[in-house]
Amino acid sequence: MQNRIMELVEKRAIKADLPDFRIGDTVDVHQKLLDGVKERVQVYTGTVIARHGGGAKETFTVRRVVQGEGVERIFLVHSPKIARIEVKKAGMVRRAKLYYLRDRVGKKTKIKEDTKRQVMLDKAIKTAAEVETKAAQEAALKAKSEGGTSKRSAKKAAAKEAAAKTKK
């Protein structure tokens, strides 16, 4: 009884648009942060050294070196605070946890690149970019056909009007 209820609650929290990232991959984690009133996105780049758990509670650990000091951060995979996860480089490792990287410095921390998976990732990124540009072009054409103006052109027009009023 209790497990079924928990499963229903967790199903709503699980994200469907996650990329296939594995241990050893270099990823960019786009995290939403509240800066006073504004919400901004901060990117955390590093190597995935571990994944834990499953379902809505699944986490992954990202490690990077900042000013000669190793920094590790644990993220919830399905957290609403994570805007997106981008796989930058596919790594090929034969271990489930890469904790041995903590003791290594410099070139010893290099991870072998998985070229086959990298080709697939590059294709996926390219097609996503093409779809995004096509959608942006269609939106621009639609706005033009409706006679609307962009925010930038509206700002320029307002600035010209303000300049004309101050001259008078």
68 and 129 both lie in a single domain: no
16 and 97 together in one domain: yes
Pairing of strands 59-66, 69-76: antiparallel
Residue 129 burial (CB count, 10 A): 10
pLDDT of residue 150: 72
C-alpha 119/C-alpha 5 separation (Å) is 41
Query: Which two structure tokens, joined as six digits, stand for 110?
Result: 């290099």
Q: Tokens standing for 127?
A: 């097609």
Q: Is the pLDDT of residue 151 over 60?
A: yes
Residue 96 to residues 22, 36, 109, Cα–Cα distance (Å)? 9, 39, 16
Taking the whole predicted model, whether its pTM rises above 0.85 is answered as no
127 and 77 in a common domain:
no
3-class SS of residue 73: strand
40 and 104 inside one domain: yes
Helix (H) / strand (E) containing 63: strand 59-66
Q: Provide, for the chain, the percentages of residues in helix, strand and coil under a 3-state DSSP scheme, each rounded to the nearest 5.
A: 45, 30, 25
pLDDT at res. 46: 95
Average pLDDT of the chain? Answer: 88
pLDDT at 168: 66
Q: Check whether 1 has a pLDDT greater than 60.
A: no
What mean pLDDT do residues 13-33 have? 91
Residue 99 has pLDDT above 80, yes or no: yes
Count: domains in the chain:
2
Pair (103, 148) in one structural domain: no
Q: Same domain, yes or no, for 79 and 134?
A: no
The CATH number of the domain where 36 resides is what? 2.30.30.790
Average pLDDT of span 91-104: 92
Q: Is the Cβ–Cβ distance between 28 and 43 less than 8 Å? A: yes
Are 121 and 136 in the same domain? yes
Q: Does residue 147 register a pLDDT over 70?
A: no
Q: Cα Rg for the chain, rounded, in angstroms?
A: 22
pLDDT digits (tens, 9 = 90+) for 28-81: 999 999 988 899 999 999 999 999 988 888 999 999 999 988 999 999 999 999
Per the structure, the complete domain to which residue 36 belongs is given by 2-113
